[in-house]
Amino acid sequence: MKVGIYTRYIDELGLTGPNIYTVNLIKHLSKQRNIDVYLIHHQQNKNRIYKDANEILIPKQPLLGELSLRRYDLNIVHFNHIPWGFRSFSPLLRFRKIATSHMSLGWGDRKVYLIQRWTEPFSANFLDMIIAVSKDLKTRLLDYLHIPESKIRVIYEGIDHEIFKPLDDADLTRVKSKYALKSHYVLHVSNFSERKNPHTLFHTFHFLVRDGFEGELLIVGAGWRNPVSENLIQALGIGNKVRIIGYVPMKDLVALYNLAELAFFPSHHENFCFPIVEAMASGTPVVASGVYSIPEIVGNAATLCEPNDCMGFTTAIKTILEDEGLREEMRKRGWNNAARFSWDKCAKETIEVYKKRLSN
């Protein structure tokens, strides 16, 4: 089986959530003896995923790219989005066409490009299968694309359980010293955007401090040093209690999960959310908003509130902080829940989709 995977967005955007999926899918598919993986993009790139890989370079321009790709002897082309824009002529490809959908935020937004509103549903009709990363997303895909339910398969993304796990004291001591960590902190992991709900994040922490919490709010991820965050932090008077440390090495991130009292994710919108599963696999209790895909991803292993319910979040966090027995119970539930999500399982289920499409 010859599978072409479109990797343009890895080249342009780096390791965003959808690209983490693509990199890990490539890694696991490449281990299969009966699958040859070809990485399709537009120009040479030094990213390590291309080392020793089969590459196909095609023009970025619509139509020219598709006509170029038609020359190759592939069985399947797998996109990491529903094709539109540069790949809007994907229906011309004679191969089986699979797309994984991670995104839906723009569908109800009037600012979304009009061409996207037309080309995504159009392209979806010519896809052999769409993989949705959650049941919640599948429901919204059906409403938006108006395609048969049989064309959408839910396959959860995964995490690497060899990385995200409880660590021994030596690793924890190193990271505690490196970041001069206080004994108590609430952890938030994300790249900044309004959908991560900074308003509730900072207001809830303000109420925790007001009610006597002496620890910090530790924020890991890009983009948090901005006027929105800085104005909120200053207005709430919590500047000496909030630390924004940006990106950290993966081995440090795992230790930061391990050392946290809990991880807090008050998002307005998530279609999967890697940090929630990473936190649980690392043994960290989770408090999150109960919207979109989050309830199905966390199962019975997290405390959920409405995204704007700052007082509800405050009460939930205080309850967990004050009850070691509850924290231990949430750790156990989190480990069990996180075990549902692995890249090996994701890849095996994706291969099943490939085989089914090729047999039809």
Sequential DSSP letters for 201-259: HHHHHHHHHHTT--SEEEEESTT-SSHHHHHHHHHHT-TTTEEEEE---HHHHHHHHHH
Q: Which residues of 257-281 are buried (b: 16+ CB within 10 A; e: fewer)?
A: bbbbbbbbbbbbbbbbbbbbbbbbb
Separation of alpha carbons 136 and 202, rounded Å? 27
Q: What is the mean pLDDT of residues 340-358?
A: 96
Alpha-carbon torsion (123, 125, 126, 128), positive or negative: positive
Angstrom distance (rounded) from CA 211 to CA 320: 14
User: What residues are paired with 342 via a beta bridge?
Assistant: 159
CB 255 within 8 A of CB 166: no
How much of the chain, in percent, has pLDDT values that exceed 90? Answer: 82
CA–CA dist 255, 173 (Å, integer): 9
What are the residues whose beta carbons fall under 8 Å from the beta carbon of 262, sequence distance 6 or more? 186, 187, 284, 285, 286, 287, 317, 320, 321, 327
pLDDT at 258: 97
pTM of the model: 0.93
Q: What percent of the chain has pLDDT over 70?
A: 97
**Range ranked top by mean pLDDT from 43-47, 75-79, 109-113:** 75-79
What pLDDT shows up at residue 13? 75
Q: Given pLDDT bands bounded at 50, 70 and 90, which one contains residue 85?
A: confident
For the stretch 256-303, pLDDT in tens is 999 999 999 999 999 999 999 999 999 999 999 999 999 999 999 999
How many CB atoms neighbour CB 307 within 10 A? 22
Task: Read off the pLDDT of each residue in 86-90 and give the average, rounded to a whole number.
Answer: 88
CB 229 within 8 A of CB 253: no
Model confidence pLDDT, tens digit, residues 179-220: 999 789 999 999 999 999 999 999 999 999 999 999 999 999
pLDDT in tens, 169-184: 988 999 999 999 978 9
CB distance 271 to 251 below 8 Å? no
Question: Encoding tokens for residue 156?
Answer: 């959860």
Q: pLDDT band at residue 144, thresholds of 50, 70 and 90? A: confident
Is residue 109's pLDDT more than 80? no
Could you tell me the end-to-end alpha-carbon distance of the chain, in angstroms, rounded to an integer? 15
Domains and CATH numbers, the chain: 2-158+343-359 (3.40.50.2000), 169-338 (3.40.50.2000)
The number of CA neighbours under 13 Å toward the Cβ of 202 is 22
Residue 107: predicted pLDDT: 52
Q: E-assigned strands of the chain?
A: 2-6, 36-41, 54-57, 76-79, 96-101, 129-132, 152-154, 185-189, 216-220, 242-246, 262-265, 286-289, 302-305
Return all residues near 93 (Cβ < 8 A) that are at least 6 apart: 66, 69, 70, 77
Give me the pLDDT at residue 112, please: 55
